[in-house]
């Protein structure tokens, strides 16, 4: 599904402007609504999956909605149709996010969760660079035929739905005579203890330090990289991320996970300092590689900490709350980064990121428990 989505999303802004005649303001409006919708939806889907006690129906609904929106893009001839498709696609992303992570936690032994979530992050990131790369190749071969590329992107989306339908199975659950309670109740939320909220708070502060990756592109441009080659920065970052996430996840199952997460946050501090001081494209690429290594060391591990800190029957709700809070933090951090970039300059933006990273590191060492040996 990531390959399918990124094939479309990597070309969509250009398609909107050059084919449909949209303004940059319209593009920003569409993307802003889409991403905000995904963040808000995650909390509701996680709650519902806990309430009904099943994850797969929501997975199928979320991936199915995303697949069904894909044919709208090659058929679109108005901004309204694109907005509707992006809106429904992001609802699908929100619907599947928390139940998927809860299901990964449930089908994985606790001592292998680092490897499991590392593999999931790795596969996500493979899609993040394979999709745009395939889109660029198809654009060259087709003579810039946007609609043909969008039609081809439909195929992997429906393959993903078929995998969910036929190959994904939920674990057997113990029958219970007690009726399931709606999770958003005071007595239920009290079961999410201080460790869980500490993980969420620390992750939110860390997200303030890790603003939108668009600023990596802007940093490349600021040192003289031509626009056509600016995406190379994201390719480097995502390749390092994809290659490192799984082995670092496996390593986390053997070591104290808190120490490895602290190392990952330290890598973000180093990446920010390198990017703040960057004066050449090679230094920017080095900073992007450190950024990707940080992502590989932290993103899967944060999901593991959420899974470990959440009661099994509230795991969907826990992941929903986690995704909602980090989504809000990402919007705030990107706005702050843009303000600093405009008012002071690139150096201030990345130095602020390093500062927030250090705050998150202190919180990590204070709040998160050491791993209990199983």
Mean pLDDT by 10 residues, the chain (374 residues): 84 74 62 64 74 84 92 87 83 83 86 85 82 84 88 95 91 63 66 84 84 73 70 80 87 83 91 90 91 89 85 81 80 76 84 89 75 44
Q: How far is CA 153 from the centre of its chain?
A: 20
CA distance 84 to 107: 35
- Per the CB < 8 A criterion, the answer to whether 45 and 101 are in contact is no
pLDDT of res. 166: 93
Measured between alpha carbons, how far is residue 289 from residues 21, 216, 271, 272 in Å?
36, 11, 8, 11
Measured between alpha carbons, how far is residue 312 from residues 120, 198, 262, 341 in Å?
20, 18, 26, 43
DSSP string over 236-269: HHHHHHHHHHHHHHHHHTTS-HHHHHHHHHHHHH
What residues have CB less than 8 Å from 17, skipping those under 6 apart? 23, 24, 27
CA distance 41 to 44: 5
Sign of the torsion formed by the C-alpha atoms of 141, 142, 144 and 147 = negative
CA distance 56 to 178: 22
Instruction: Give the pLDDT confidence of 103-127 residue by residue, as tens digits.
Output: 888 888 888 888 888 888 888 888 8
pTM: 0.69
Instruction: Give the pLDDT confidence of 311-328 residue by residue, as tens digits.
Output: 877 888 888 888 888 877
- Per the CB < 8 A criterion, the answer to whether 162 and 37 are in contact is no
- Per the CB < 8 A criterion, the answer to whether 117 and 301 are in contact is yes
pLDDT of res. 373: 41
Compute the half-sphere exposure of residue 179: CA atoms within 13 Å on the CB side of its CA.
2
CA distance 373 to 118: 20
CA distance 74 to 250: 41
**Residue ranges with strand state E in the chain:** none
- Residue-range domains of the chain with CATH: 2-168+182-367 (1.20.1250.20)
- Per the CB < 8 A criterion, the answer to whether 302 and 318 are in contact is no
- Judged by DSSP in three states, 145 sits in coil
């Amino acid at each position: 599904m990531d390959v399918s989505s990124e094939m479309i999303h990597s070309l969509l802004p250009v398609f909107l402007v050059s084919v449909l005649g949209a303004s940059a303001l319209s593009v920003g409006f569409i993307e802003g609504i889409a991403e905000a919708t995904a963040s808000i939806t995650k909390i509701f889907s996680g709650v519902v999956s806990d309430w009904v006690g099943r994850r797969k129906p929501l997975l199928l609904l979320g991936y199915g909605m995303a697949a069904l929106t894909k044919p709208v893009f090659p058929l679109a001839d108005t901004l309204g149709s694109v907005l509707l498709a992006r809106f429904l696609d992001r609802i699908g992303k929100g619907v599947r996010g928390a139940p998927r992570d809860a299901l990964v936690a449930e089908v994985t032994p606790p001592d292998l969760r680092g490897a499991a979530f590392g593999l999931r992050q790795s596969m996500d990131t493979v899609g993040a660079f394979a999709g745009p790369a395939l889109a660029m190749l198809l654009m060259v071969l087709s003579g810039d035929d946007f609609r043909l590329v969008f039609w081809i992107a439909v195929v992997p989306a429906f393959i993903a739905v078929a995998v969910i339908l036929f190959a994904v199975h939920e674990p057997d659950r113990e029958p219970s005579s007690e009726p399931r309670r709606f999770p958003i109740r005071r007595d239920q939320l009290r079961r999410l203890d201080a460790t869980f909220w500490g993980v969420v708070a620390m992750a939110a502060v860390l997200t303030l330090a890790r603003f939108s990756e668009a600023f990596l592109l802007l940093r490349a441009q600021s040192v003289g990289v031509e626009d056509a080659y600016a995406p190379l920065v994201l390719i480097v970052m995502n390749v390092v991320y994809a290659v490192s996430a799984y082995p670092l996840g496996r390593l986390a199952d053997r070591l104290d996970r808190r120490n490895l997460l602290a190392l990952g946050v330290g890598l973000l501090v180093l990446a920010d300092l390198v990017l703040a001081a960057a004066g050449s494209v090679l230094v920017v690429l080095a900073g992007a590689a450190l950024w990707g290594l940080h992502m590989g060391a932290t993103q899967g591990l944060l999901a593991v900490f959420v899974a470990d800190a959440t009661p099994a029957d509230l795991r969907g709700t826990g992941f929903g709350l986690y995704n909602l809070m980090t989504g809000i933090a990402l919007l705030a951090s990107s706005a702050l980064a843009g303000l600093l970039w405009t008012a002071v300059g690139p150096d201030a933006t990345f130095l602020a990121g390093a500062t927030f990273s250090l705050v998150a590191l202190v919180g990590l060492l204070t709040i998160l428990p050491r791993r209990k040996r199983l």
